[in-house]
Chain A
């Protein structure tokens, strides 16, 4: 046997786990969210895999395999405190299109969870401000549900969420529930109004200036996720309010093949989004050395 390099302490250890091998899952049901976006509820064929997977953190992601088409990374919108595992996927490329074709009972494959995720225990005792645009609510949903489940651990919880039109508001049943819940302040806005819409019209940032809205700045972490344009403007607003760069966190997305820091596609500057991220503070994002 020849000399093999080992970074880890256990020089004799031989990898037994195949990091590229996905495990089969069964599609349970599909719900329509907004145009072109559906939620896919699924479970692992193997119950032990399901139990292992359930230890994921909010903000982590998984690799979804549609054999014959390919594999893609998908955020995990459920909170680990919830029973069901599901993905919310927009039909945008060939893999996601194939997933949208699947019928309940049919199988595909998943591996993960991957990435750093949000360390929700780091935010104990703090105010949480969630700012999301469009399908940017998908990765933040996990944190929100988690935080509400552990409501006593956090101070104020606020959600500022905007979409293009009222029809494109994600997770409407959740939004209604959050709007009515006393433990959470949930503000919604749309870019373009429709007749049925009586709420705010304007970009997400316009919500901060609404009468009666008060964004806590001290002892607060802001979670921002949405399209690049929204991200830029919201960051500007938050910094102007007095948020520190280290108290603004976001989750980034990139073209990915492996999810485990090997294929090289998701690198931004010095960081592999798949293993060093996808969650970064704005302070870290600025230091990556490349545009996001």
Chain B
């Protein structure tokens, strides 16, 4: 991949260029305290776009899979029915998407565009989305308490699936092109020639940054193995389930969760819209059938489901991508402290306790 150098003051010019090309650009903004969010860049707020800030809890997943998305409009009149699918394919760009979230979108790509059925709504949004990845290099501002992307092998620097990648080298930024569309930006003279010394500096910084993560789950691969083999005891799942408040927050903030429900609603006289809405396997209604039968009634079965879906080797192989990207959001929002790192730790502990040693 080709890399160039950009002066510190020029980094937001990428946002300007994207806007000039006709993209709606979304970028992270900071509020009070830890509060950050992705918002539409306008002439008014453009100066407040930040490169170094904590990753927003509300993931950028919504730009390819909106929280609530209209699938079709249906008009009924005099017994006749007209169905009109509603698509949205405006050019959009995300400036400042973190490596974990790039991996999240990659996972969604594998899921929604893979296998026998392709999701047209997803595809239309995705192919119009330009991604400018920002590498987390500031241990204070970028890396959260719960981040564990090095364990999920998604960061701190994404290796692919972005259009442009921006990394702070201290005095200047290094910009990497990950697609032909990204590389086209290098025609602009503000992108300067990079040298071997820059590449070396990037490598050195990444080596240092990797050591600054506060959450580490070296047991991640082992957990994948145990979940896949089904060797985790029911009582461990029950312990995990007993801490679940069934709020669905983990799913809400997860950049790799894919499940949705579909609902029809009246929007006018004789007019109905069919929407899809994010859904969560933590909620008891997720598997409840008409008539009331619910095959996954117990909380711990539903928690088991979440981690099985994310970690079982079968699913990793099915999508060639894992449904956990190490962003740490679930750990940050979970009231019962059963985000991914904690669950990995609980499984590690339970497995260690299973070693039945007989002192002689």
Q: Which residues of A contact B (CB under 8 A)?
A: 1-8, 14-22, 24, 67-72, 92-96, 105-107, 109, 253-255, 257-258, 260-265, 267-270, 275, 289-292
Q: Are A7 and B291 in contact (CB under 8 A)?
A: no
CA A291 to CA B301, docked complex, whole Å: 10
Q: Are A263 and B261 in contact (CB under 8 A)?
A: yes
CA A92 to CA B291, docked complex, whole Å: 5
Interface of B is mostly: mixed
Instruction: Name B106-132 residues within 8 Å CB distance of A.
Output: 106, 109-121, 123, 126-131
- Across-interface contacts of A71 in B (CB, < 8 A): 262, 264, 274
Q: Are B295 and A257 in contact (CB under 8 A)?
A: no
Q: Are B119 and A70 in contact (CB under 8 A)?
A: no
- Across-interface contacts of A20 in B (CB, < 8 A): 71-72, 85, 121, 262, 274
What string of 1s and 0s marks CB contacts (under 8 Å) between B201-243 and chain A?
A: 0000000000000000000000000000010000000000000
With A4-B127, A264-B259 as contacts: A19 and B119 at CB distance below 8 Å: yes
Query: Shortest Cβ distance from B30 into chain A, in angstroms?
Result: 26
Q: Are A289 and B308 in contact (CB under 8 A)?
A: yes
Instruction: Name B77-104 residues within 8 Å CB distance of A.
Output: 79-81, 83, 85
Sorted nearest first, the 10 A-B pairs with minimum C-beta distance are A93-B290, A7-B114, A5-B109, A264-B259, A15-B118, A260-B117, A92-B291, A270-B314, A3-B179, A67-B74
Interface of A is mostly: loop
- Across-interface contacts of A290 in B (CB, < 8 A): 296, 301, 305, 308
Query: Shortest Cβ distance from A82 into chain B, in angstroms?
Result: 26
CA A264 to CA B261, docked complex, whole Å: 9
5 intermolecular pairs with C-beta atoms under 8 Å apart: A1-B128, A15-B120, A261-B117, A262-B260, A290-B301
What string of 1s and 0s marks CB contacts (under 8 Å) between B167-184 and chain A?
A: 000000000001101100
CA A94 to CA B290, docked complex, whole Å: 8
Query: Shortest Cβ distance from A31 into chain B, in angstroms?
Result: 22
Query: Shortest Cβ distance from B148 into chain A, in angstroms?
Result: 24
Interface centre among A5, A16, A67, A107 (most CB of B within 10 A): A5
**Cross-chain contact of B289 among A5, A21, A255, A260 (Cβ < 8 A):** A255
Q: Which of B279-287, B324-332, B342-350 forms part of the interface with chain A?
A: B279-287
With A1-B127, A2-B127, A69-B264 as contacts: A8 and B114 at CB distance below 8 Å: yes
**Cross-chain contact of A105 among B79, B117, B320 (Cβ < 8 A):** B79
CA A216 to CA B96, docked complex, whole Å: 67
**Cross-chain contact of A253 among B181, B276, B289 (Cβ < 8 A):** B289
What string of 1s and 0s marks CB contacts (under 8 Å) between B312-336 and chain A?
A: 1011000010000000000000000
Query: Shortest Cβ distance from A155 into chain B, in angstroms?
Result: 34
Question: Closest residue to A7 on the B side, CB-wise?
Answer: B114
Question: Closest residue to A268 on the B side, CB-wise?
Answer: B295
Q: Does B263 contact A (CB under 8 A)?
A: yes
Q: Are A19 and B118 in contact (CB under 8 A)?
A: yes
- Across-interface contacts of A261 in B (CB, < 8 A): 115-117
- Across-interface contacts of B71 in A (CB, < 8 A): 20-21
Query: Shortest Cβ distance from A103 into chain B, in angstroms?
Result: 10
- Across-interface contacts of A7 in B (CB, < 8 A): 110, 113-115, 320
- Across-interface contacts of B262 in A (CB, < 8 A): 20, 70-71, 257-258, 263
Question: Closest residue to B270 on the A side, CB-wise?
Answer: A68
- Across-interface contacts of A264 in B (CB, < 8 A): 258-260, 279, 281, 309
- Across-interface contacts of B314 in A (CB, < 8 A): 270
Q: Are B290 and A92 in contact (CB under 8 A)?
A: yes
**Cross-chain contact of A267 among B117, B260, B309 (Cβ < 8 A):** B309
Q: Are A2 and B181 in contact (CB under 8 A)?
A: yes
- Across-interface contacts of B312 in A (CB, < 8 A): 270, 289
Query: Shortest Cβ distance from B230 into chain A, in angstroms?
Result: 6
